[in-house]
Structure 1
Amino acid sequence: MPTALIADDEPNLAIELASRLTQFWPELQIISMPRNGIDALAELNAQQPDFAFLDIRMPGLDGLQIARSVPHMQIVFVTAYDEYAARAFDTSAIDYLMKPLTDERLLKCITRLQRGGRMPADSREAAAASAPREEAPIRWLAVGYRDATRLVAIDDVIYFQATDKYTEVVTAGHRHVIRTPLKELLPRLDAAHFVQVHRSVIVALAQIDRVERDLLGRSRIHLRERSETLPVSRGYVSLFRQM
């Protein structure tokens, strides 16, 4: 059974959309209807629905910021603002629906989702032509913390480390987990501040105290604010030859 999340800070609009989706697509299960961007991102990471219907303007994080944080997710934007269309199609957007939404337009979107398709290429290109494609580096991360959602500033992150199922986000005093794999996270980080040093490790350059080699020629990073050391793969050792 396909699942979906609806995020909108106006609960009546979210309920209306959920009702119409259920009417036209009875098999679709609406699993969550968060009212702000931070909760929406947390729910997407925790529940991994098949589809997400996102408003653009929401408290905490907007829909575009959320979409860039979950590039694997199938996103439909539902908004009253047409000026965001170009940037929306530079994310993982499948469709861009304008409020007030007609039944005909919603049915076309549902058909597209059921077929696994996206907005026709000519429509996406026309919308994207008026806006730059470069995305700003992420500046925050929404992470689960006990029974709440916590917003972690990217400047507080010392390193990211991949585990079997998650990515650890390590700060001076805490370890958090997110579901975004390193290969999707790395392009969204500022290359002037973060560098990959191992297939499972990305580290903040400002947090590197020194790099030492043992008798076997293996390099390890010593951190400024944490006691553990991080491995450096042979392919990345050249990054530190001038350090």
Structure 2
Amino acid sequence: MTRALIADDERLMREQLRARLAEVWPELEIVAEAKNGAEAVQLTEQLHPDLVFLDIRMPGMTGVDAARRIAQLPTYEPVPDGAGNDDAEGWPGCEIVFVTAYDEYAVEAFEQGVVDYVLKPAERERLALTVQRVRKRMAQRGGNGEPAPLPAHTPDMQQLLQKLAAQLNPGAPPKLKWIQATVGPQIQMIPVEDVLFFISDEKYTRVQTATLEALIRKPIKELIEELDMNLFWQIHRSTLVNTKAIAGVSRDLRGRQLVAVKGHPEKLEVSRSFTGLFKGM
């Protein structure tokens, strides 16, 4: 059974969407409702739903910010129990559907299928179309062969989230042009376009250019909000790579995708959630 989460700060809107979903997708199980973006992220991490309906405008953390945080949650494959059955606790991530009362957010990227949206109040016919699209994508991910990428893990989705965030917060600062980083005992200003990749650990993020390696105290989830995602792709929960620096993609003996970087010998692992970025490789 497909499991879903509804996030909206208006109780009547949550109830209305729940009722409409019961009509167009009777088998869908609504496992929880969230009143804001932070609660949506927390419940998604706890309950691992297959689908999350996010109101774009919510107090505190918006639906766009929540989508970014959800995209950073760890995903993992089901673990065989020894009897040929998969552990039900495996979670490949979730689909995201935006809910909005403002049709100005229904930008072209929505119609191109990057992610679906529903206008308030949810109409049966439009919601049925959304359900059809979502179920098709979920079936593709569950089929044989290369899994389809989760919408939140595609460059188009990251760019869409940046557009929506700019609409929600027109006074936000411009995208980063320079990285202030520690190189040995010195602080250096590194042009963003010179960065080949960023890799984070628990405390620091490594900034790698063709000529130097530096450290900053800024996690990947913050960099995603501050960098131009037309220039950088996320290929792992802890890794961003400059698209202009990608030399090619190969597979190792374990079948993992590895990104070769121009001007640097290191190869970057692509996590399972992001393998669809290089589909067919």
Q: TM-score, normalised by structure 1?
A: 0.49
Which structure has the larger Rg? 1
The structure showing larger relative contact order (alpha-carbon pairs under 8 Å, at least 6 residues apart) is 2
Q: TM-score, normalised by structure 2?
A: 0.43
